[in-house]
Amino acid sequence: MTSVTLSSLRARKQAGDAFSCLTAYDASFAAAAGRAGIDVLLVGDSLGMVLQGHDSTLPVTIDDIVYHTRCVARGKGDSLLMVDLPFMGNPSREKLLENAAELMRAGAELVKVEGEGWMADDIRELTRRGVPICAHLGLTPQTVHQLGGYKVQGRESEAAQRIIDDAQLLVEAGASVILLECVPASLGKAVTEALDVPVIGIGAGPDTDGQILVMHDVLGVTHGRTPRFVKNFLEGADGITDAFHRYHEDVLARRFPAAEHCFQD
Ligand code: KIV
Ligand code: NA
């Protein structure tokens, strides 16, 4: 395998080929994911939940993310390394640029930010300065208290249109990738078709260019409620690397997600 880059992901989209993404938080699992062929690794602020045991991502700090990014960067093979900007990582333009720089110095190759259309100016500034951006839309866990819980977004046509408009606006501002979480499959398809840049989905239906899951969910290491869109790939697999490989293969063959993992209108 050669290194996965933003241009290779774009080429995959143009060819109609899917790609796989998985969260990673340390060197050993990052290496296993790389061996399994996973295309994109995400140091997600989901680490606040799966590593730290919080019930949301809000307590995660920039230092937490930097620490885990350094760990993953040392272990990763050819996967592209995406990293989350944590909650309130953009209290001001200056602080945002400093935080993004820290993530890039730690090894990030793509920085993921949660935020709607209002993030456009920030995204323009970051991309101008060499920080490639993935904009996370739909269910944005950093605003869980405003959303009133982890709920499917974009069900009404007005809300769906807002997500399409925001995605287009943020791509025009410079975003290289869009990530959609927990939206009806029809909206996942509409956004993917409307954009030239790769769209990654989680609970966004089978038609996005890429799929992402939290590593712990892929391995069935879950506690509390399990969202509809997850699947335990360790079941029936010959170990962890094989579970990652089965996930990768199922995503590329578009066998995952199946209808049971998707939200319909
Ligand atoms: O933090 C995370 O793991 C994420 C993915 C669920 C997309 O943002
Ligand atoms: Na996240």
Instruction: Delineate the domains of the chain, giving CATH numbers in brackets.
Output: 6-261 (3.20.20.60)
Q: Could you give the C-alpha distances from 265 to 28, 72, 96, in angstroms and in order?
A: 39, 37, 36
Q: Is there a contact between 167 and 178 (Cβ–Cβ < 8 Å)?
A: yes
Instruction: Determine which one of 94, 109, 156, 181 is catalytic.
Output: 181
| Helix, strand and coil in the chain, % to nearest 5 | 45, 15, 40
Phi, psi of 124 (to 5 degrees): -60, -45
Q: Is the Cβ atom of 46 under 6 angstroms away from ligand 1?
A: yes
Please give the model's pTM, rounded to 2 decimal places.
0.98
Per-residue pLDDT tens over the stretch 166-210 = 999 999 999 999 999 999 999 999 999 999 999 999 999 999 999
- What are the distances in angstroms from CA 258 to CA 7, 178, 203? 28, 21, 10
According to the model, what pLDDT value does residue 163 have? 98
Ligand 1 atom closest to the Cα of residue 141 is 8
- Between 115 and 131, where is the model more confident? 131
State ipTM: 0.99
User: How far is residue 149 from each of residues 55, 104, 118, measured CA to CA in Å?
Assistant: 11, 31, 22
Q: Which atom of ligand 1 is nearest to the CA of 114?
A: 8
The tokens for 242 are 């094989």
Give the residue with greater pLDDT, 222 vs 109: 109
What is the four-CA torsion angle of 123, 125, 129, 131, rounded to 10 degrees?
-10
CB of 230 closer than 6 angstroms to any ligand 1 atom: no
